């Protein structure tokens, strides 16, 4: 496993048995019945991996903690920090008896705990994300994307090992994190969480590089399969360049890429194709800016031009091809052209499913948008089936009480109340 769960104290100095809340086995963070609690004692005993951090990082963390504690002492707040007095009692600065060169005994204890928690952050902190509306939110179709709000400790989540192909999905509501099974998990099977690098989004080399911050080498089935087979990852193939002449896949690990079609034998510079990709992304940004200022017709023309250009050097399954379909759907929805919007969004969903899977949260978000478009376009039958599919995916990832689920249920209720003769026609 990635973490030593049998010895959660590791090399850390444990608190007293009473403070640890150890229960019968003395496992820090467990109550007397052996149930793990999200208590401060559980947090304290998460591994800081002190010996794994670089000397430079430890020095910087120590310097930051000492500087902060000196400021607290200078402001006369050490009593409040060590819970001896309320913040109101410490509202007036006190004359500090200690010199600025030496921390009080209370602040030394606080500083030790602070340093421990700062070192714990790298391997145990969780990014709190929520779905947030993009843009003014006054359109008929609302685009939502996950936005990082904060970083926090969740001791129970820290117990879950990583997999690039996890069997759980994590969502946040206020200060609570909810872990849901994203696929059937049998009794005795390990519950796995993705720390960020996912096999659908990155090649194995990129994932391994990012996971080094957690001080382990990932040996999940997805990584082992890619490493042992030596074959190109699905991500690499789908996000590849294609031959400008015959549209076959370009291949090669060096600066020069060659067409995989032996009869063509066209070659191209990787830097040149990468430059074209960057230019294309800039053009897409300009098109979206046109949409933002109300120039939808010009935005459509620019996006269609970008599509034609992309087709000459990007694979049809490239994620950017799906993004352009999504943007076109957004523009047509702005104009109230629901059928055109739905047509482009269906193509976007096909590509999203290829990259992330039919049950992924990304596919669920795209289906949510398609349901909105079909609802507004009065395509009742397809809207109801799309709503049902979106509910099946989003309920797994966010639960039945999430805002998106509530909106889907409201749309379904509205459509279901229509007269039977209208339902039969649509």
User: Which pLDDT does position 236 carry in this prediction?
Assistant: 64
pLDDT band at residue 327 under the 50/70/90 scheme = very high
Give the Å distances, CA to CA, from 329 to 9, 146, 152, 401.
53, 20, 36, 28
Q: How far apart are CA 385 and CA 252, in angstroms?
A: 43
Rounded CA separation 272/275 (Å):
5
Q: Check residue 352 and report its DSSP letter.
A: H
Instruction: Calculate mean pLDDT across residues 252-264.
Output: 85
Does the pLDDT of residue 254 top 90, yes or no?
A: no
* CA distance readout (Å), 7 to 4, 52, 112, 116, 191: 6, 17, 21, 17, 19
Give the whole-angstrom CA distance, residue 197 versus residue 163. 9
- In terms of average pLDDT, the best of 130-139, 181-190, 413-422 is 181-190
Per-residue pLDDT tens for 214-243? 888 889 988 888 888 766 666 666 678 998
Q: In this structure, are residues 112 and 44 in contact, taking their beta carbons and an 8 Å threshold? A: no
CA–CA separation, 424 and 426 (whole Å): 6
Enumerate helices (H) and strands (E) in the chain, giving the number of each: 17, 9
The upper half-sphere exposure of residue 11, i.e. CA atoms within 13 Å in the direction of its Cβ, equals 7
Nearest residue to 140 (alpha-carbon basis) of 319, 287, 341: 341
Rounded Cα–Cα distance for residues 390 and 365 (Å): 8
Q: Is 46 exposed, middle or buried (0-12, 13-18, 19+ CB in 10 A)?
A: buried
Contacts of 415 (CB under 8 A, 6+ apart): 375, 380, 383, 384, 387, 423
Q: Which residue has the higher pLDDT, 139 or 267?
A: 267
Segment 96-127, tens digit of pLDDT: 454 556 888 888 889 999 999 999 999 999 88
Q: How far is CA 152 from CA 1, 137, 309, in A?
A: 23, 29, 43
Please give the span between the terminal C-alpha atoms of the chain, in angstroms, as a whole number: 53
Digit-coded pLDDT (tens) for 296-322: 999 999 999 999 999 999 999 899 999
User: Higher confidence at residue 78 or residue 249?
Assistant: 249
Higher per-residue pLDDT: 343 or 159: 343
What is the CB neighbour count within 10 angstroms for residue 311?
Answer: 14
At residue 9, the pLDDT reads 36
In the chain the domains, ranked by start, together with CATH numbers, are 17-124 (no CATH), 125-234 (2.170.270.10)
CA angle 130, 47, 203 (to 5 degrees): 55
Tell me how crowded residue 395 is: count the other CB atoms within 10 A of its CB. 17
pLDDT category at 84 given cuts 50, 70, 90 is low
Least trusted range by pLDDT, from 128-132, 324-328, 406-410: 128-132
Contacts of 219 (CB under 8 A, 6+ apart): none
Helix (H) or strand (E) holding 131: strand 125-133
What DSSP string runs through 292-304? HTT-HHHHHHHHH
Q: What is the pLDDT of residues 392-425, one digit of tens each?
A: 999 999 989 888 999 999 999 999 888 765 655 5
Q: Work out the percent of the chain whose per-residue pLDDT is above 90.
A: 45
Cα torsion angle, 268, 271, 273, 279, sign: negative
Q: Which residue has the higher pLDDT, 305 or 40?
A: 305
The structure's pTM equals 0.76
The stretch 156-164 carries a mean pLDDT of 90
Tell me what pLDDT residue 348 has.
96
Task: Decide if pLDDT at 347 tops 60.
Answer: yes
Helix (H, G, I), strand (E, B) or coil at 2: coil
Return the percentage of the chain with pLDDT > 70, whole number: 82
Taking residues 158-164, report their average pLDDT.
Answer: 91
- Residue 190 gets which letter from DSSP? P
Check pLDDT > 80 for residue 141.
no
């Amino acid at each position: 496993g990635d973490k030593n769960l049998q010895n959660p104290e590791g090399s850390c100095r444990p608190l007293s048995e009473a403070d640890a809340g150890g229960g019968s086995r003395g496992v820090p963070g467990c109550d007397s019945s052996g149930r793990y609690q999200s208590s401060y004692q559980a947090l304290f005993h998460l591994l800081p991996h002190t010996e794994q951090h670089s000397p430079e990082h430890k020095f910087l963390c120590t310097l930051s903690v000492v500087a902060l504690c000196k400021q607290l002492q200078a402001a006369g707040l050490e009593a409040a920090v060590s819970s001896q007095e309320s913040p109101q009692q410490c509202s007036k600065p006190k004359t500090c008896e200690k010199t600025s060169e030496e921390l009080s005994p209370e602040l030394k204890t606080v500083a030790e705990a602070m340093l421990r928690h700062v070192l714990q952050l790298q391997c145990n902190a969780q990014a709190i994300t929520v779905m947030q509306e993009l843009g003014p939110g006054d359109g008929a179709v609302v685009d939502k994307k996950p936005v990082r709000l904060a970083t926090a400790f969740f001791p129970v989540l820290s117990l879950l090992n990583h997999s690039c192909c996890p069997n759980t999905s994590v969502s946040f509501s206020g200060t609570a994190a909810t872990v849901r099974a994203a696929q059937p998990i049998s009794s005795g099977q390990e519950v796995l969480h993705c720390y960020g690098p996912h096999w659908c989004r990155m090649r194995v080399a990129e994932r391994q590089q990012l996971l080094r911050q957690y001080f382990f080498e990932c040996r999940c089935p997805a990584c082992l399969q890619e490493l042992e087979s030596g074959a190109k990852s699905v991500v690499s193939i789908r996000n590849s360049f294609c031959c400008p002449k015959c549209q076959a896949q370009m291949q090669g690990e060096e600066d020069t890429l060659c067409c995989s079609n032996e009869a063509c034998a066209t070659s191209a510079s990787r830097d040149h194709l990468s430059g074209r990709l960057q230019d294309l992304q800039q053009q897409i940004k300009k098109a979206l800016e046109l949409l933002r200022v109300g120039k939808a017709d010009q935005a459509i023309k620019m996006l269609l031009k970008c599509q034609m250009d992309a087709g000459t050097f990007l694979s049809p399954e490239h994620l950017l091809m799906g993004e352009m379909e999504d943007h076109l759907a957004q523009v047509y929805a702005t104009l109230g052209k629901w059928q055109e919007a739905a047509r482009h969004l269906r193509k976007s969903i096909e590509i999203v499913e290829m990259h992330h899977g039919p049950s992924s949260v990304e596919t669920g978000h795209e289906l949510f948008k398609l349901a909105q478009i079909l609802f507004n376009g009065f395509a009742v039958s397809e809207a109801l089936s799309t709503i049902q599919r979106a509910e099946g995916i989003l309920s797994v990832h966010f639960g039945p009480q999430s805002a998106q689920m509530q909106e889907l249920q409201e749309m379904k209720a509205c459509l279901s109340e229509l007269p039977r003769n209208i339902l039969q026609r649509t």
